[in-house]
Structure 1
Amino acid sequence: MKPVLVVMGVSGSGKSTVGAAIAQRLRVPFADADDFHPPANIKKMSAGIPLDDHDRHPWLEAIGEWLAAHPNGAVISCSALKRKYRDQLRHHAHQVTFLHLAGSREVIARRQASRPGHFMPSSLLTSQFKTLEPLEPDERGTTIDVDQDVDAIVQEYVDAVAHDVG
């Protein structure tokens, strides 16, 4: 059975790149949660203003609906920074698991600097780290350090999933 996976983490952690690579490896659909943001959210973030829970709610609902529409396997990149956001996604797709791409502020800032033109400015990185609630022991998922290349992260994830299944 293929996973319904949310690749989570702060902006710049590599969610989209890793998520797309995992989806390709598992041969399942991939989506980027950034594509689900309404224009008002993008405008707010582009102005350097962090989203609040009110802004995030309809966005997370759309992501949860997408996950629910792919019960036979899918991968989406989504920050999912708080437990309650992950709970909202689980409400739609009970079988969802999470891959938390974790790294130090320095590593993430270096990664963010290499992607100019993204609507999430690096100035919001501090608010992302303040908001982040790592996976709790009762949440299905795994955490992988992002300070390695994409292929190593994908392999570590595949190995972890194979271990959990086997």
Structure 2
Amino acid sequence: MKAKATVLDHAAIRRALTRISHEIIEKNKGVEDLVLVGIKTRGVPIAQRLKEKIQEIESVDIPGGELDITLYRDDLTPKQDQAEPEIKETNIQTDIDGKKVILVDDVLYTGRTVRAAMDALIDHGRPAQIQLAVLVDRGHRELPIRADFVGKNVPTSHDEVVTVTLSETDQADEVRIYEK
């Protein structure tokens, strides 16, 4: 793959997440009954960063969690060297019944990951509301899903790949577009 452009660097990611944190607080008129749940893999550190920013702003520790959606995907294909999908642990620290759950992911593309995440979340309880926060929305939806909070809209073609690297998982913060 050929690198085409860097759309967010470390500082831009930090600013986007600060803005999203303020938007979450504003839209929900505070943080009461909020739960932040990151979709594995890169949604988890993004959710943690949002949680820390919101705590900094509101001086309240809001509950969070991690959601593995592997078994809920409708586009799952086995890897060549792996017969079974790798299942990671789901860990939601609180009861989500009647809460406003903010699902957090790195890139919103077709909407299939978010659909799977909503199915997985419902298996853990019945939230009053589910909202979606993403670092990047690249378009090309296959399902009627939209993000409530977006760090950056990045119009792309189907021939492009958007990669998010984060210091927690990849030792650097960056969002890049590659040509397939």
Normalised by the size of structure 2, how large is the TM-score? 0.35
Structure ranking higher in strand proportion: 2
Question: Larger helix proportion, structure 1 or 2?
Answer: 1
Which protein shows a greater Rg? 2
**TM-score (norm: length of structure 1):** 0.37
